[in-house]
A and B are shown apart, each in its own frame.
Chain A
Amino acid sequence: MSVDKDTVRRIARLARLAVPEARLEPLAGELNGIFQWVEMLNEVNVDGVPAMTSVVAQKLKWRKDEVTDGGVADALMQNAPEREDTFFVVPKVVE
């Protein structure tokens, strides 16, 4: 399977990364180098093998569904690149 320029443009869009037109072709080359190398996984018969979901045997812990933290809006806003009061400022989203 080979990745072309249009595929890189599409996945860059999905990944929300602005990739300049001139970088699409070289990136396709780099990604193909990596994908050709991982092709070797197709040699292995994985029929009936379960996909790993947890590397150590453990059940996800349960706890009561109750509030354990919060009320820290000021601390959360401290690192905002742009803010007004306790709101994050972004470009207009809805026309």
Chain B
Amino acid sequence: MSSQQENKGIVLKDVNLHYGDYHALRDINLNVAVGERVVVCGSSGSGKSTMIRSIIGLENHDSGHILIDGQELTADAKSQETIRRNVGMVFQQFNLFPHLTIAENCSLALKRVKKMAKGEAKDVVMKYLERVHIPEQAEKYPSQLSGGQQQRAAIARALCMQPKFLLFDEPTSALDPEMVNEVLDVMVEMAQDGMTMICVTHEMGFARQVADKMVFMNQGRIIESGDTVEFFENPKEERTRTFLNTILSH
């Protein structure tokens, strides 16, 4: 990988983050190249959510550097605005706007941020709702959809902004088991289309299928990261092995 390619991706350099006295992220170093799919795993409280939230400025790191597409992310509003034009995020709780229809959820930022005309925005919205296989839900409100459909709508909403990078924070953890696959299928399709993705997830089947790189976190540190096959077949760290055994044992 050339260094220029690296500069175009997501780079975290010695990132630290505290909540009061609690040291949530410790010396995080991570490179995600354009087109790469990274899955982050680890037990709860290991800092994985905090890490991807810090990449889009929802948490402010207190030391180190976060570079996205060569631009440094700081607590400054201008910097966050620039970063968020390139990075999208999908949340565990979907966070759709309940008072707006699915189509309005998707078109809001197109109209308000990208200043797109109504008709043009509608075309973009329908294109991405088709991509997540719910074009027929466009005029419904979030509460009228199943959990799986809501999460796919949230993915479509993120895709509408045509981000270069997409972050997923446990996108299937709030779903009933029978709805997990419909969301994972959409994510696999996106991965196949070449989207750069960082996913925090416990879905190890999905990870094996799409991830180029695995990252394992524990107590705010990245303990192990590397090639997916290597990670599953031959984990180096004892803590990783224990984690994989627990999560894969049933």
Partners in one complex: no
